[in-house]
Amino acid sequence: MQFDRFIPKRIKVDVSNFNLNSSNEEEEDDIILSGNLPFINNGKKVARTEAFKQLMLKAFNVTYTSVLGYGEKIVKSPFSSHWPVIGRKKPTLSNPELALDLPGMGDMDVMTYRHIIGWGKTGHLAVIFDGSLHIRDENDNVVCGVGSNLSSCLRWDPSGKRIAVRKARNQIHVLNVQKHEFEMQFSCICVHCTVNVIEISQNGLIITGCSKGQIVITKSEYQVVNKKKINGKILDLKLSCKNKFLAAVTYTNVMIFAFSSLEEVMKLPCATNLSTSVDWHPWKDFILAKGEMNKQITVYNINTKTIIENTIVKPYFRNASILDCLSFCPLSAELLVSFYCEFKRKPGGLTILTVFKDLNTQLDEIEYQSGRVPHIIWNSTGTKAGVLDTGENLLIWNFFGPRKDETDDILKVKKQMMVPVASF
């Protein structure tokens, strides 16, 4: 008998305990819709598969490089440098610590404007419900409900002692949370506009952005510090960590201004003309990430006006339809991205939250069946992430798992990284 090559005989084995991905999309949809697997950690799935592969390679005494790889070829970014980050060594996300039902948060404004929910430095969550400002503690107890005819546009000041909210179309009211009193009110300088976003600087200046493209920096009821008119409705305003820059997002551009002179520094075009998500690096004042709905993320160095990374990002396994939000973890600078994945043959879809170390490296991921996630908020230490979806759920995740020593380790590394160096 002659053999021209050796083909191992396939043996039917029971692989049910290996918990690997099924290739049948419809079958997977059925599993998820049945509610048996509400939260799946894909990062752990990848880690288990890799551990199993290493075990098999060792058992057969095969070196890694001699084994053919299957699957997609990973295209590495042409940019060699990345942002400063303390990436987790293994996946830690599991079920959310807390799930809050927030009725009335599912309308279209939730998808468009970025300032409808806030998590203050003192640990309080703020939302507008039925025209009133509701402030809750982390255990979902309502601390206070004040005001009337308020709209879902709010911002905590950095100390967590005051919160600014919109009343009617373009009035801003500032509440002293400790006294439960509104202590200041003013309107946008233009007529018949709608204030959509509010930002507050570390020194207490209130920055508003309205439907007519007017940015106004206000110090007190009678003192406007500066103003700037730009083209298009303002969808988001975000100050960099040390308040050096202000990013203003419209449908077509992200404008970067020096703060508080409002001199234009850079104009970043948006490819999709749809809602764009931006976030500043938590301790490098000049690094900005911009994510678009087509899943393209660009990371900029605003000081040098250069691109650090630019790529179409993806979750571990799924072919996500949309990217809705990105946010740097304030503690580790890992980039948390919310994707939405529509089912082809059924209504509804999957929410996917992926943690990136750089734009080509996923470190952790959770998927579950819910709506789109346009809002990611953090507690003051950056150890808990709150994600608000269009299904009116606010899920709060222990971002580094339940073990406190892991958080302490990250803090130690972060302190070392924050020592000024020439690069970055």
Site residues for Zn ion per CB under 5 A: 188, 190, 193, 210, 212, 214
| Of 166 and 295, CB closest to Zn ion | 166
Label residue 63 exposed, middle or buried (CB < 10 Å: 0-12, 13-18, 19+): exposed
Sequence-distant (≥ 6) Cβ neighbours of residue 366 within 8 angstroms:
39, 40, 41, 42, 93, 94, 352, 353, 397
Rounded CA separation 293/270 (Å):
10
- In the complex, least distance from residue 227 CB atom to Zn ion, rounded to whole angstroms: 9
| Of 262 and 326, CB closest to Zn ion | 262
How are beta strands 361-369 and 375-378 bridged, if at all? unpaired
Rounded CA separation 135/183 (Å):
17
Label residue 48 exposed, middle or buried (CB < 10 Å: 0-12, 13-18, 19+): middle
Distance from the Cα of residue 179 to its chain's centroid: 32
| Of 190 and 411, CB closest to Zn ion | 190
- In the complex, least distance from residue 155 CB atom to Zn ion, rounded to whole angstroms: 16
| Of 93 and 217, CB closest to Zn ion | 217
Any idea which residue has 């002179």 for tokens?
261
- In the complex, least distance from residue 241 CB atom to Zn ion, rounded to whole angstroms: 27
Taking alpha carbons only, the member of 255, 285, 277, 278 closest to residue 268 is 255
Instruction: Give the phi and the psi of residue 265 in degrees, each rounded to 5.
Output: -105, -40
- In the complex, least distance from residue 112 CB atom to Zn ion, rounded to whole angstroms: 17
Paired residues of 181 in beta bridges: 176
| Of 210 and 376, CB closest to Zn ion | 210
| Of 155 and 284, CB closest to Zn ion | 155
Residue 288: CB atoms within 10 Å? 26
Q: For residue 152, give Cα distances in angstroms to 109, 198, 375, 422.
A: 8, 11, 13, 42
- In the complex, least distance from residue 170 CB atom to Zn ion, rounded to whole angstroms: 6
- In the complex, least distance from residue 167 CB atom to Zn ion, rounded to whole angstroms: 14
- In the complex, least distance from residue 413 CB atom to Zn ion, rounded to whole angstroms: 44
Rounded CA separation 221/217 (Å):
11
| Of 120 and 213, CB closest to Zn ion | 213
| Of 117 and 197, CB closest to Zn ion | 197
| Of 87 and 232, CB closest to Zn ion | 232
- In the complex, least distance from residue 214 CB atom to Zn ion, rounded to whole angstroms: 4
- In the complex, least distance from residue 172 CB atom to Zn ion, rounded to whole angstroms: 11
**Rg from Cα positions in the chain:** 24
Phi/psi region, residue 193 (left: phi>0; alpha: psi -120 to 50; beta: rest), is beta
